[in-house]
A and B are shown apart, each in its own frame.
Chain A
Amino acid sequence: MRKLKFEYSMELKFSSPVNSHYFALRCVPGDSLRQKITLDVCRVAPADYTSMDRDGFGNLKISGCCGDYHDTFGYSVRGLAVTEGMIVQKCPLHPMYRYPSKYTQYEPEVRAFTKTAWKESGANSAETDLEKAVRVMDYLYHHFLYIPGVTDIRTTAADALRLGRGVCQDYAHIMTAVMRCAGIPARYVNGLMIGEGATHAWVEIYTDGGWYGLDPTNNLHVDDYYIKLAHGRDYGDCEVDRGIFRGNAVQRQKIYVNVEEISNDRDSCVNGTSRG
């Protein structure tokens, strides 16, 4: 168990004022079996109103609107998370996580990669689904390059495999697709990781009656240095922020994430840099 102090903020700057700006945000971590959240700050501005509810996947979602003209928009979330790592979060399985979704279709690249990864990683001979998944993750980690800028938010698992490189979103999509293709239910996760940087993406696989997190970008089990924001079948189900507005403006986004451990001994902090 760990205590993490987190801060997550986003600022959008528009090149010219926009209006009728509607937004839906999944920037607030919710309570679950592996994390308990205390919020200190949760600010969205400018906004005429906001409301918070759970979406169909169980994630916290803030929605609202800013009707008047504005040239900046942003949010800031700060709080404390008490986390537990490397545990199976018991929960019934929703069958949708067993089947391909928009970003995780079983295209030939996905099928081929699944087959090789299974064979080469030794997953075939592993006993439990978790062990298999860990081996495949290791294989993916060593056969896919972390290179930002070559993929974007529309890149599917098959696209990324074709390119052979990408960022955390791509690692997570490939891992999700490969797991499902091999019969292990999996879901895509957005969240924050210890250190300073950006938001991160990883996966959860369904094993032993619950969800277990794996981070293929870093080839790590999801331990208590991770804070989850949202999950879904893929990126499209759980975007951290979506907005539409009126106006012809170029937008520039600035994101700040900082997660620090608070130890009982107040002076020391664990720090690091996460790769998103």
Chain B
Amino acid sequence: MGIISMEKVDHLYWLGRYTERVYTTLRVFFHIYDHMIEQPEGVYAKYCEKLNIPEIYTSNRQFVQSYLFGADNPDSVYSNMKRAYDNAIVLRDELSSTVLSYVQLALDTFESCRKTTAPLLELQQVIDDLLAFWGGADDYVEEEDCRNILKCGKYVERLDLSIRLDYHTKDLEKEYRKLCNRLEKTNLDYSKEKLSRLEAIILQGEDPKSYCQEALACLGGLFT
């Protein structure tokens, strides 16, 4: 159809961000879950601090349940999945029913395995669905603009999480280049100033840790 409304741009961008957030935090969670076997209670506190989400949990067990499945917990992976779905559902004609169905499947998986005793066994399906979603998006989303905006959202989120979770400079550089690559292809209005400041922090070896907050602010303010 060749035209995308402002509102849809917004949905595409946030769909990219939330699917990426679910995907990456879920993968990170696999590691945390593993660590918890040997570590004392409360290992999640540091993780919460890094992600800048409130530490509202009472035990490792409760953290697992609430952080993964908490419907009332706005920072749970499930809540983020729900947001991804809310953005996707209004994009059927851009995404196609085929691609949209993977978001639906991922959400349904969350909802059906809430009571499980082995969450990672079931949630592997969510990771598979999200990978299928991205593969499908590449293949079936016909409008190039749509794909680029979607991926912009994805790489903004990826970079955001990479900074928060102290990824290696090499990784940040890699994700930054992916973002720039997409950004050039879209016709989105973004702040060139903030992008170049972000570049300075990431590429010119300024110690990313001490500039972490500034980098995040640049990233968050890219489109405002």
Direct contact of A and B (CB under 8 A): no
What residues make up the interface of B, taking CB atoms closer than 8 Å to A?
A: none
